[in-house]
């Protein structure tokens, strides 16, 4: 776990007041959860602690990692907000990343929502295993109990209200939606961030996320060819595993063809705006 300077007095207060409910934001490094950071700094919402569940330095988009560590953490420190970067740990204490799990030789169930031949996303466990459970573990370690659950703020804005209440609360948490309470949309979140003098963060998601739009895949291929090639090779590796298990091929886009072919041949058209992790946990 990485803790950034500036929140020490907040953490001391947490230790001295364990009988009170923890109030944290599950921070994703995107627009909505960064707006929550600004609102917390302005004391417009009461959330003194922000938790960034990093699914892996080899998995999160590098721009998200850079924004969290260089921009958001520094801003939090200046305003007395505790920001912690968390990662999933194995029983032996070593860190497990999503990228590593995807490349395990014994992998049988793919944890990301890879697309089936009909374009529909498969079942996933990445959000639960690498974000929700990681945050829940921290909450339990810091005094949250089923009798006294932590209040966990999630950055879902009014234009995404359909995503609220889709995630089942864990026994140690009570989910809260501050942006909905304030009636704020994504464009208002952008204004809040820029008015605070911060750059607008990039969209937060793993660089290989199957929820990525075709436009985003095109941008990755054009501007980040190394990441695009890694995504292509990941798709190949996953399909090699599926073939060994006697399963049909699956893909990172909804078009039923390999990624490098899909992005080269699919024509421009209206985009379905799938959600990433901007809010602090992945969209559905």
DSSP string for 227-271:
HHHHHHHHHHHHHHHHHHTT----BSSTTSS-HHHHHHHPPP-PP
Residues 174-185 have pLDDT tens digits of 999 999 999 999
In whole angstroms, give the CA distance from residue 210 to residue 214: 10
Please tell me the pTM assigned to this model.
Answer: 0.86
Q: Give pLDDT, residue 16.
A: 40
> Distance between CA atoms of 37 and 90, rounded to whole angstroms?
30
- Angstrom distances, CA of residue 27 to CA of 127, 158, 240: 13, 18, 34
**pLDDT in the model for residue 17:** 44
So what's the pLDDT on residue 175? 94
Residue with structure tokens 């923890």? 22
Neighbours of 121 (CB within 10 A): 16
What's the confidence (pLDDT) of residue 270?
Answer: 43
The answer to the question of residue 278 being in a domain is no
Identify the pLDDT of residue 168. Answer: 64
SS3 for 35-81 is HHHHHHHCCCCCCCEEEEECCCCCCECHHHHHHHHHHHHHHHHHCCC
Domain count, the chain: 1
User: Do the domain assignments include residue 24?
Assistant: yes
Q: Which residues of the chain have pLDDT under 50?
A: 9-10, 12-19, 266-276, 278-279, 283-284
In terms of Cα–Cα distance, which of 67, 22, 15, 2 is closest to 205? 67
Tell me, yes or no, whether 279 lies in a domain. no
Residue at 125 is within a domain: yes
2: which DSSP letter?
A: E
Q: What domain range is 37 assigned to?
A: 2-265
Residue 147 belongs to a domain? yes
**pLDDT recorded at residue 2:** 77
pLDDT score at 264: 80
Residues 264-275 as b/e (b if ≥16 CB within 10 A, e otherwise) read eeeeeeeeeebb
Strand partners for 3: 84
The residues pairing with 151 across neighbouring beta strands, listed in sequence order, are: 23, 174
Q: What is the pLDDT of residue 254?
A: 92
Find, among 245, 282, 280, the residue nearest to 110 by Cα: 245
CA R_g for the chain? 19
Q: What is the pLDDT of residue 221?
A: 95
Q: CATH number of the domain that 88 lies in?
A: 3.40.50.620
Q: Is residue 273 part of a domain?
A: no
Residue with tokens 């209040």: 151
The closest alpha carbon to 68, from 157, 201, 179, 190, belongs to: 201
CA distances 178 to 14, 65, 151, 152, 210, Å, are 21, 24, 11, 10, 28
Answer yes or no: is 284 within a domain: no
Q: Is residue 216 part of a domain?
A: yes
């Amino acid at each position: 776990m990485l803790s950034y300077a500036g929140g020490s007095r907040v953490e001391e207060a947490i230790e001295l007041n364990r009988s009170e409910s923890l109030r944290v934001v599950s921070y994703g490094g995107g627009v909505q959860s960064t707006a929550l950071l600004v609102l917390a700094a302005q004391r417009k919402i009461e959330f003194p602690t922000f938790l960034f569940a990093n699914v892996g330095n080899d998995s999160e988009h590098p721009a998200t990692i850079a924004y969290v560590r260089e921009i958001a953490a520094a801003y939090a420190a200046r305003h007395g907000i505790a920001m912690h970067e968390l990662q999933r740990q194995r029983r032996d204490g070593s860190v497990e990343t999503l990228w590593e799990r995807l490349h395990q030789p014994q992998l049988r169930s793919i944890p990301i929502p890879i697309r089936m031949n009909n374009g529909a996303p498969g079942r996933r466990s990445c959000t639960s295993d690498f974000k929700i459970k990681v945050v829940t573990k921290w909450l339990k370690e810091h005094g949250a109990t089923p009798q006294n659950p932590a209040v966990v703020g999630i950055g879902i804005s009014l234009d995404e209200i359909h995503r609220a209440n889709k995630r089942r609360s864990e026994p140690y948490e009570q989910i809260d939606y501050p942006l909905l309470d304030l009636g704020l949309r994504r464009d208002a979140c952008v204004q809040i961030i820029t008015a605070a003098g911060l750059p607008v963060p990039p969209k937060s998601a793993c660089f290989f996320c199957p929820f990525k739009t075709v436009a985003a895949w095109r941008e990755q291929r054009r501007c980040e060819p190394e990441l695009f090639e890694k995504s292509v090779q990941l798709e190949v590796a996953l399909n090699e595993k599926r073939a060994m298990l006697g399963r049909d091929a699956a893909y990172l886009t909804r078009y039923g063809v390999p990624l490098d072919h899909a992005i080269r041949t699919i024509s421009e058209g209206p985009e379905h705006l799938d959600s990433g992790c901007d809010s602090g946990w992945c969209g559905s």
